[in-house]
Chain A
Amino acid sequence: EVQLVESGGGLVQPGGSLRLSCAASGFIFSDYWMYWVRQVPGKGLMWVSRMDDDGTTTTYADSVKGRFTISRDNAKNTLYLQMHSLRSEDTGVYYCIRDRVMRQSTWDFDLWGRGTLVKVSS
Chain B
Amino acid sequence: QSALTQPPAVSGSPGQSITISCTGTSSDIGTYNYVSWYQQYPGKAPKLIIFDVSSRPSGVSNRFSGSKSGNTASLTISGLQPEDEADYHCGSYVIRSNFIFGGGTRLTVL
Classify chain B's interface size.
20 to 34
By a CB distance below 8 angstroms, the chain B residues around A102 are: none
Main secondary structure on A side of the interface with B: loop
In the assembled complex, the Cα of A40 lies from the Cα of B98 at a distance in Å of: 19
Whether A106 sits at the interface, judged by CB under 8 Å, is yes
Binds A, one of B12-20, B72-80, B101-109: B101-109
* A108 adjacent to B48 (CB under 8 Å): yes
Complex: chain B residue closest to A111, CB-CB: B48
Q: Smallest Cβ distance from A20 to chain B, in angstroms?
A: 15
Q: Chain B, 26-48, contact with A by CB distance < 8 Å: what is the 0/1 string?
A: 00000000101010000001111
**Contacts A47-B98, A100-B57 hold; do A109 and B103 have CB atoms under 8 A apart?**
no
* A107 adjacent to B104 (CB under 8 Å): no
Select which of B48, B98, B100 is within 8 A of A109 by beta carbon: B48
In the assembled complex, the Cα of A65 lies from the Cα of B63 at a distance in Å of: 39
* B45 adjacent to A45 (CB under 8 Å): no
By a CB distance below 8 angstroms, the chain A residues around B36 are: 107-109
Q: Report A's interface with B, CB cutoff 8 A.
A: 43-47, 59, 61-62, 95, 100, 106-110, 112-115
Q: Which 7 A-B pairs have the closest CB atoms?
A: A112-B45, A47-B99, A45-B101, A108-B51, A44-B103, A44-B104, A59-B97
18 residue pairs A–B, Cβ–Cβ below 8 Å: A43-B104, A45-B46, A45-B89, A47-B100, A47-B101, A59-B98, A62-B1, A62-B98, A95-B45, A100-B48, A100-B57, A106-B51, A106-B52, A107-B34, A112-B46, A112-B47, A113-B45, A115-B45
